[in-house]
Amino acid sequence: MIMKTILFFLLISSAVFAQWPGYFYAFELKDSEGNAIDSISNDYRMKTIVCSECKDEIVMGIRICEDNKTWRYYAGGNYKYLGRTNMLKIEKVMNGNVVETMTIEFPAPLSGVEENYYRNLYAGELKFKKGTHKIKLPETDDEWNNLKEMKLCPDNINDYSFHDISKFQK
């Protein structure tokens, strides 16, 4: 009986500290003149690019934060596709026609340190420009360990903590 009780408490305590299956990326988006692309901008539209081999889409949504300048998306919901790169297509629209397309590749933010977990990352300010652009991640354990932590995009349920990788995007 004592062994069952110990096993029960071990299982419960490990579940309490387990990471929810997923992560957030946050970023600010500016046009070529440096103006913020926000929720009221009709000149741009965003959509995720669905993974061809995925049965379920991993990016669950993209939305603007309360500050109306920081975008955030959540990837997750299951463990199957967490390690894949997610892509976001941003289209510049004029008179109802797409005139330029920017694709951003967001690699899975699995930290390279001893804990080795998926982190919420802040990529900083991204400028809209035609083509495909890959978000760069820290390369060494030391770089991962020394990321500044910041609070972004709180909502009614959570106060989200993000690690700042903006300096790697320059």
Estimate the share of the chain in helix, then strand, then coil, as percent rounded to the nearest 5.
Answer: 15, 40, 45
Tens digit of each residue's pLDDT (9 = 90 or more) over 90-148: 999 999 999 999 999 999 888 876 667 888 999 999 999 999 999 999 998 899 989 99
Per-residue model confidence (pLDDT) at position 19? 46
Instruction: Sketch the domain layout of the chain as residue ranges.
Output: 23-169
The letter for the amino acid at 134 is K
Q: What is the pTM (predicted TM-score) of this model?
A: 0.80
**What are the φ/ψ torsions at residue 138 (nearest 5 degrees)?**
-55, 150
User: By the 8 A CB rule, do 90 and 104 touch?
Assistant: yes
Contact 53, 45 (CB under 8 A): no
Give the tokens for residue 108.
């899975």
